[in-house]
Amino acid sequence: MSILLEFLKSVIYGIVQGITEWLPISSTGHMILVRTFMPLMPFTSEASNQAFWDMYKVVIQFGSILAVVLLFWHRLYPFNKNLEAKKRKSIIRLWIMVIIGCIPAGILGILFEDLIDNVLSATWVIGLALIIYGILFIWMENQSREYSVKSTGQITITKALGVGAFQALALIPGTSRSGSTILGATLLGFNRKTAAEYSFFLAIPVMLGASLLKIIKFIVKGAELNGVAFMDLLIGFVIAFFVSLLVIRKLMAYIKNHDFKIFGQYRIALGILVLILSIIGVI
């Protein structure tokens, strides 16, 4: 019964990951909060469970990444023999802009990994980040602006680095990688559709690299996966993949006729709740 409960927890984590990764509301923040009330415990040792969690919360994000690759394969794969030369060149250029945009987060993520895991994952940090970025989203949507970047083909090196700098801010739990990049891109003149798409594409190398780094660190520490831990990881990964497929489609349809204010309002409400629960010692 306890093993089945463990697997049920991983199903819930996969659902939370698949929903919150692409909405600008912080997947890592939600995962940490869920763990407060429903920790994964595939091992008898608390140290082993902690090491597994540090790896698990990042690696199941790769399931979400596969959803992006599948949905946008025709936009991302430049080696289809049926592609025209112009289209192939545009895809390669897009990948260059994606790699450039990932440089800031890649460097800072490696340098400050332990600080992020051990210090910045505090619940009060998550609460404040949720509120601050919620306010910024509402403020952003209340500003009138002209959009200079209406497709991914119009992204310049300067714009890519600018969005990349915002993505680096999302290393702080509660900020939201998609939220920070969408906010940054919009402030830099991207329309909503292009901001969302570029945010999705930026996630591919960032999360792939983060997943590999966490797996390597897990192995180097001498940690091993038992059967329960392996199934936890597999279940979370698969559920995150299928839920992400649905959420990405729904989000792209939603932003055609709506702004991001509702996400800002949700972030503020959740952030206040997190701070209250943190102050009274519940989390």
pLDDT digits over 205-260, tens only? 988 888 888 888 888 777 778 899 999 999 999 999 999 999 999 999 999 888 89
Sign of CA dihedral 31, 62, 247, 193: positive
**pTM, 2 dp:** 0.88
DSSP-assigned beta bridge partners for residue 190: 149
Tally of structural domains, the chain: 1
Mean pLDDT of 88-114: 90
Direct distance between the N- and C-terminal alpha carbons of the chain, in angstroms, rounded to an integer: 26
Confidence of residue 263 (pLDDT cuts 50, 70, 90): very high
Neighbours of 136 (CB within 10 A): 17
Dump pLDDT digits (tens) for 100-109.
999 998 888 8
Written as six digits, the tokens of 85 are: 């030369």
Is residue 258 helix, strand or coil? coil
Give yes or no for residue 151 having a pLDDT over 90. Answer: yes
The boundaries of the domain holding residue 240 are 2-279
Predicted confidence at residue 11, as pLDDT, reads: 96
Predicted confidence at residue 59, as pLDDT, reads: 86
Predicted confidence at residue 228, as pLDDT, reads: 92
Give yes or no for residue 126 having a pLDDT over 60. Answer: yes
